[in-house]
Amino acid sequence: MSISRKINFSCRKCGHQQPLTVWDVLIVADDPEKKEELINGDLMRSKCIRCGYSTPVLYSLLYQDIARDFVVWLWLSPADPNTADEMIFMRDYQFRIVRSENELREKILIFDNGLDDRVLEICKFLLRKKPTRDRPKLEGDLFFKELRPWPEWGQAIVFELSSVPEELMLPRKTYNEMEACMLRKLPALEEVAKKWLHIDSKFAQSMVRKYG
């Protein structure tokens, strides 16, 4: 069951107070429309009914997808959450801890598309390292956006940059090759179930350093 509560939120612009629902636990099967709001950014945002100003409202939220067997915890405190209690009740889910709304959204999109977030992080790391003629260095964070049919490649993996509205694409074949290569070195996803993991740019960096 999803768990939510109402708080009073003051508009950053005019100070008007209005109620806002914040979600401690969001079970996607119970509240599919809330997932849509999370993906499009409306869930963690308050729009003032008096002046119309829209303010981001970030809070810790545990997202659970029972059909796809994954749980992502957006956790804002610097120390990791106490995860021992939650794990007892859960099956062989993939567990992830993330630190931002963008990362939470990205994890949902990755698992929804049946991709391995560890492989994608390494793909992102390599995209960053590869300078092109018109862009020697990528600014900002890179997030998985979608899989897209692409005539040249069959399918493209599309990433977007957080700093500017720009997309970067990778052939699906490159991802598949990277996956085949990494699965010889990384444990199978089934083996890392029931463990809370941070799969992010630091993870990719440590993998590339270790395996080259």
Interface positions with Zn ion (CB under 5 A): 11, 13-14, 16, 48, 50-51, 53
In angstroms, give the least distance from the CB of 46 to Zn ion: 9
In angstroms, give the least distance from the CB of 13 to Zn ion: 5
In angstroms, give the least distance from the CB of 45 to Zn ion: 13
When the beta carbons of 21 and 60 are compared against Zn ion, the nearer one is 21
When the beta carbons of 13 and 148 are compared against Zn ion, the nearer one is 13
When the beta carbons of 9 and 150 are compared against Zn ion, the nearer one is 9
When the beta carbons of 11 and 199 are compared against Zn ion, the nearer one is 11
In angstroms, give the least distance from the CB of 53 to Zn ion: 5
**Residues 4/23, Cβ–Cβ less than 8 Å:** yes
> What single string gives the DSSP state of each residue in the chain?
--EEEEEEEE-TTT--EEEEEEEEEEETTT-HHHHHHHHHT-TTEEE-TTT--EEE----EEEEETTTTEEEEE--SSSPP--HHHHHH--S-EEEEESSHHHHHHHHHHHHTT--HHHHHHHHHHHHH---SS-SS--S-EEEEEEEEETTTEEEEEEEESSSS-EEEEEHHHHHHHHHHHHTTSPPGGGGTTSEE--SHHHHHHHHHHH-
In angstroms, give the least distance from the CB of 203 to Zn ion: 40
When the beta carbons of 48 and 110 are compared against Zn ion, the nearer one is 48
